[in-house]
Structure 1
Amino acid sequence: GAGLSLAILGDVALAVPSAHFTAAYGMVGLTPDGGMSWTLPRVVGLRRAQEIILTNRRIGAEEAAQIGLVTRVVAAETLLDEGLAVAERLAQGPVGAIAGARALLAASMQNDLATQLDLEVVRIADAGAGAEAAEGIAAFAERRPPRFT
């Protein structure tokens, strides 16, 4: 239940092959909490969210990856290394641009296209005027990896 709510909050969610996900609330006479009723439909779609919550069907790791509940399945023995590699890649990337992209993605769920395009214009203009874009463009032009600080 609450574990599923936490798992779907991440931007990148890794699962081991033996993992499984169950809403579980209905089995004990409760309704979802932890934001599940808001997040789950946005992650897997309304129909799948309805099935997952209403039937308490157990979702295995491979199916979870197929329906977008998790990003990908990794071997249990590499989970920590894979998670750390994703975290390191994000931390060494253009964190301002990543934060802006996250904000745009979150806003897209309630905006119409015109509003979203307006937000994108503001975000890309702000990002383009920053040091991250200057470094990224210079690195691209010089055919070298960017060094974001």
Structure 2
Amino acid sequence: MTYKTIRLDLNDKVATITIDRPHRMNALTPQLFEEASAAIDAARANGARALILTGEGRAFCAGADLVADEGYDGLPDDLGELLDNYYNPFVRKLADLDIPVISAINGPAVGAGMGLALTADITVMARSAYLLLAFVNIGLVPDAGVTWLIAKGAGRTKALELALLGEKLSAEEALDAGLVTRVADDEAVLDEARAIATKLAHGPSVAIGYIRKQVAMALNQTLAETLETERKHQSKAGFTEDFREAVAAFGEKRKPIFKGR
């Protein structure tokens, strides 16, 4: 498939999707969501075991494109329909993946772009980048799941501060707030994300898939419910080839070679 708004690279079981609209600071359009969704399916079909999201040029993503552009008619009258048809299905797709997602936040992540960045399991943020919930500045409310992500990650107080004031949050502030995993020098962001993704791509993929779902479920479960989830996933993980390989490698005093099965 030929992509116009993104690039897909698959190397060493790691798929990298780069949002490629630098002239619009990688702002989001329906076509971009369609292409990114198709790229994820293609990557999984070709054996990807980890996914990186990043942006081309100086921005990660400026959020929804507010202005009509070549091949793009601009925002519809009913923004709820836009969320129903494009934003929400894509966020759910990322959340439902059975492979880990890493975001390399190479520059500003604004509005829904902030939501996409924080949806990842591991987030590596450039030192000069910033996060910005800009919705209130244009008379809108947060979307792309970012309300939930910030409230769960940093708490109610921080979520309200960011959403109501619409002020920039630096990389170091985002790290201190628990919203991103690591901060790296600008030129090292993608390399660090790739190193993490490669490690995960060569890990026990079945267990990794269960772990990402288990943590997401735990955010809304009681202890008793979490214990039951852990029991169910552990039972399944215990029957994998990767677990048997790990036990054999332990006995033979060598590193396990995981095949993702």
TM-score range, shorter chain: over 0.9
Residue deviations 1:74-114 (CA, integer Å, cap 9, x gap): 11111121111111111000010000011110110111000
Q: Are residues 1:101 and 2:204 paired?
A: no
The range that moved more, 43-52 or 26-35, is 43-52
| Aligned counterpart, 2:129 | 19
Structure 1 partner of 2:75: none
Deviations 1:48-69 (A, max 9, x none): 1111111112110011111111
C-alpha distance in structure 2 between counterparts of 1:27 and 1:128, whole Å: 50
Quote the Cα distance in structure 2 between the aligned partners of 1:50 and 1:138: 50
Partner of 1:37: 147
Q: Which has the higher contact order (CA 8 A, sep 6+)?
A: 1
1:1-149 → structure 2 map (5 Å cutoff): 1-149=111-259
Give me the TM-score of the superposition, normalised by structure 2: 0.55
The structure with the largest helix share of the pair is 1
* Structure number having the greater strand percentage: 2
Q: CA RMSD in A?
A: 1.0
Task: Give the unaligned 5+ runs of structure 1.
Answer: none
Report if aligned partners of 1:22, 1:58 keep a CA contact under 8 Å in 2. Answer: yes
Q: Secondary structure at the match of 1:59?
A: strand
* Number of aligned positions between the proteins: 149
- Alpha-carbon distance in 1 for matches of 2:220, 2:189: 34
Counterpart-to-counterpart distance in 2, 1:68 and 1:142 = 39
3-state DSSP of counterpart to 1:147: coil
Question: Structure 1 length normalisation: TM-score?
Answer: 0.95
**What percentage of residue pairs aligned between the two structures are identical?**
38
Separation in structure 1 between the aligned mates of residue 253 and residue 157 of structure 2, nearest angstrom: 46
Tell me which stretches of 4 or more aligned residues in structure 1 moved more than 3 Å.
Answer: none
Deviation at 1:22, TM superposition (A): 0.9
Q: Which runs of 5+ in 2 are unaligned?
A: 1-110
Give the CA deviation at 1:140.
2.1
